Structure 1
């Protein structure tokens, strides 16, 4: 495949670079599927908004062939599944700024090094988190430029359906299919396997990595019908394994609360139904904190009792890194004003905070992840467990849920407003995260991180401990 720099005016029906804050010029990228326009900043080349499937509302995705003209016309857009504002926006600093919400969102973006000599590069497929109700693949806070530039990998970021549009189907033949978001991800991974070679990636070296709900989705895809063999190497970051089980009653109550959802209903009506469903999940303990999730016993997932056996069957072909942070629950404590007030009390407050963070972190992200890792290892997988204790110097929040994402995707402008990184963590993201990105790149190339301790760079304390 050849690549040349051009004005690419014939490819782009959209706005010009000067009308946006996008760095880089348009480049024409020749592929076996046609010539795509891409944004090139001299270090990385990014092709945005390649459609991997098409789906009507409440319908399964239908794979499509890559359309260079359609993607080329949308190189200055970030597209996400429609979603209400997330309560975590303040901590993240407004991650979804600049995203255009469109139900026609089954798209992926590909980023690769600009100086590419034609050799197939390792591929990393990013599955975003957001409790299955928020986020998108191509947002400023998930900018993979540094990872691509430093590690010479191809990164694919995937957008899929969320909330009532993707994870609250009733599964009945004449109703809404369940697990549409998982079906979207299967379609995206199939697209990557069959077509990434045309964009410079090596289809034999694909690492799927995701955080929080993204990690949870990866674990479910390992046992999903139709996804067999699509994942052989995975990085599972902060997967909420402690709350994935025994959700049938919760999900049934949510479906009843949401009520009938017409295929032509207004989005505002769907968001109102989503809010009703979320409120109906109250009373189920820690599971209520992430009410939307995949549903067992509905395609493409087996019944819950068969999941462990499915993981065992897949294990011999897997390389897996299971990672969590030491203070996951500190993130959610920041979202609860009453708990924040309680933990701010003199003398007793710090002790209460320590206990809450420790207990909830282990209950949701600790023991379940260790059990998952042990099951895979005993069944023949090559597994490493890692704990991330990194945090900015002077941080009052600590090594909370999602904090490592800023180091993996260090777009300083996007992360600068994030309270998660206060007081000065955003200022040194690129340099501080070099060792962590090197570890992720090493895993993508070899399926293993050799070092037992990865120390972060200036401005940050701690790092990653691997065993």
Structure 2
């Protein structure tokens, strides 16, 4: 990669190889380190250590995907010139404070991005963890993995299911093995994910092959209400795309798989998220065993789980057709109902069942208290509070009429609380709460 003049670099001598990092804004970024490689519709193969120097590429690798106009309206435009399409997008990035004490081992937070299992990557400006790393003196690792038809639709010998989940597991193995070379504590790793990233983490908790890879989880806005009874929908969607093979052009796959999506009339709300983890296929158990698996693991993994107050508000209030034909009162009721069905009740049930099984679990709800904001507690509104980075959120529709000072003040307090949980598995009653947060230990 070409660096600007006077750019400072740092070379990490790791057991994986010599990895080049960039010093910037009091942190060191070692970006886009390949942890595995994969062929189309095949499981990932972990990369072996190398004697060569590893430098991050000029552009960020990203799994082939369709840009979502709704997502861009929610969180802002994506500069496509910064990304390069790669069907094997198994990369991680490590963000570390520039200065740490000798022999210090920092808590590690691993970010698993969301995007309905269909879009996104680990390195987006809206999830740049620089502020968090600087303020709380921890390490954040971001993970990219296969999404959509390349990572989360399968069920045959030629097209295995859950490939994106296998990618993440390989990333976690890499982190467990190598993070101490960056100053991280390999025995204190917390997974943090939002939306489908949170859903993936809930399923990683019960996946084969993850023993001792992480100690805690932070789950934001996981659509756990959509996880059951998906097998027929997945089978139908797979059949509709069975003509895609190893020789099919990538662009053709991305452009045409949506021609036969699952039907809302047939599958209801689940059709809104056609891709996802699939039970009855490795590394997951059968669907009827999931609850028991979570209960069995309750004493092993600390959990912080929750949601935003009006998760579906952007989807419904931003719809011109709905607002044209339905009164505001009906739309508001639909927002409350769908938020509870998809996110609220499943999170509460998960937390209470986990606690009854002896688990250490906290339940939270985030709600900005500004009533001139049209979307208040919408899906993804938690992200600017967690990650900061004002410039990345300038055009975000969900932040309309919310002053950045409000986000910054609440965000610093929220980041401190979440870091406290990542470091110890607990949050003190005396720790200051931001006004956007309702939090309780179950």
TM-score normalised per structure 2: 0.93
Deviation at 1:393, TM superposition (A): 6.7
1:70-116 Cα shifts (integer Å, max 9, x gaps): 64142x43221111111311111024652222113100000010011
Offset of residue 278 of structure 1: 2.8
Task: Find the partner of 1:204 among 177, 187, 201.
Answer: 187
Q: In the alignment, what sits opposite 1:8?
A: none
- Structure 1 runs of 4+ aligned residues shifted over 6 Å read none
Q: State the 1:279 CA deviation.
A: 4.7
Structure 1 residue 195, shift from structure 2 partner: 1.3
**Post-superposition CA distance 1:285-343 (Å, at most 9, x none):** 11111111111101111110111111111111111011111111112214533223345
Alignment size in residue pairs? 438
Q: Do residues 15 (structure 1) and 2 (structure 2) align?
A: yes
Find the counterpart in structure 2 of residue 156 from structure 1: 141
Q: Decide which of 118, 127, 140 is 2:125's aligned counterpart.
A: 140
For residue 268 of structure 1, report the CA deviation from its aligned partner.
2.0
Question: Hey, what does 1:5 align to over in structure 2?
Answer: none
Moved more, 258-267 or 53-62: 258-267
Between 158-167 and 394-403, the greater mean CA deviation after superposition = 394-403
Q: What aligned pairs does 1:268-417 form with structure 2 within 5 A after superposition? A: 268-280=251-263, 283-342=266-325, 348-349=327-328, 351-390=329-368, 394-417=372-395
Asked if the contact 1:393–1:424 (Cα under 8 Å) also holds between the matched residues in 2, the reply is: no
Write out per-residue CA displacement over residues 416-437 of structure 1, whole angstroms, 9 at most, x where no aligned residue: 1111111244465444410010
Write out per-residue CA displacement over residues 229-256 of structure 1, whole angstroms, 9 at most, x where no aligned residue. Answer: 3232000111111111011111111112
Gaps of 5+ in 2: none
The Cα of 1:38 is off from its aligned counterpart by: 1.1
1:213 to 196, 199, 206: 196
In structure 2, what is the equivalent of residue 166 of structure 1? 151
Counterpart residue number, 1:4:
none
Q: 1:67 Cα deviation (Å)?
A: 4.6
1:280 offset after TM fit, Å? 4.5
Give the aligned partner of residue 121 of structure 1. 106
- Aligned mate of 1:233, from 206, 211, 216: 216
Summarize the Cα distance change of 1:42–1:426 in structure 2 as closer, same or farther, 3 Å threshold.
Answer: closer
Instruction: Give the C-alpha shift of residue 464 in structure 1.
Output: 3.8
1:448 to 2:426 alignment: yes
Do the aligned partners of 1:242 and 1:363 also contact (CA within 8 Å) in 2?
A: yes
Alpha carbons 2:188, 2:214 under 8 Å: kept? no
CA offset at residue 466 of structure 1?
Answer: 3.0
Distance change >3 Å, CA 371–CA 24, structure 1 → 2: farther
Judging changes above 3 Å, is the alpha-carbon distance between structure 1 residues 164 and 96 closer, same or farther for their aligned structure 2 residues?
farther
**3-state SS of 2:188 partner:** strand
Match status 1:187 vs 2:170: yes
Q: Partner residue of 1:62?
A: 45
Q: Structure 1 residues 418, 69: CA separation in 2 closer, same or farther (over 3 Å shift)?
A: farther
Distance 1:69 1:399 in 2: 47
Cα distance between partner residues in 2 of 1:84 and 1:31: 36
Distance change (3 Å), C-alpha of 1:24 and 1:143:
farther
Q: Distance in 1 between matches of 2:314 and 2:432?
A: 23
Q: RMSD of aligned C-alpha atoms?
A: 2.1
The 8 Å contact of residues 454 and 463 in structure 1, kept in 2 or not, is answered as no
Q: Quick one: distance in 1 between partners of 2:267 and 2:193?
A: 25
Q: 1:267 aligns with which of 223, 236, 250?
A: 250
Give the match for residue 437 of structure 2: 463
What TM-score results when the alignment is normalised by the length of structure 1?
A: 0.89
Instruction: Tell me, yes or no, if the aligned pair for 1:48 and 1:71 is still in contact at 8 Å.
Output: no
CA contact (8 A) 2:15 2:49 kept: no
Which of the numbers 414, 419, 437 marks the counterpart of 1:436? Answer: 414
Structure 1: gaps (5+ residues): 1-13
Could you tell me whether the CA contact under 8 Å between 2:236 and 2:262 is conserved in 1? Answer: no
Q: 1:24 to 1:466 in 2, by over 3 A?
A: farther
Distance 1:59 1:120, change over 3 A: same
- Cα distance in 2 between the residues matched to 1:325 and 1:116: 34
Deviates more, 1:381-390 or 1:275-284: 275-284
Report the CA distance shift for 1:146/1:68 in structure 2 as closer, same or farther (over 3 A): farther
SS of residue paired to 1:278: coil
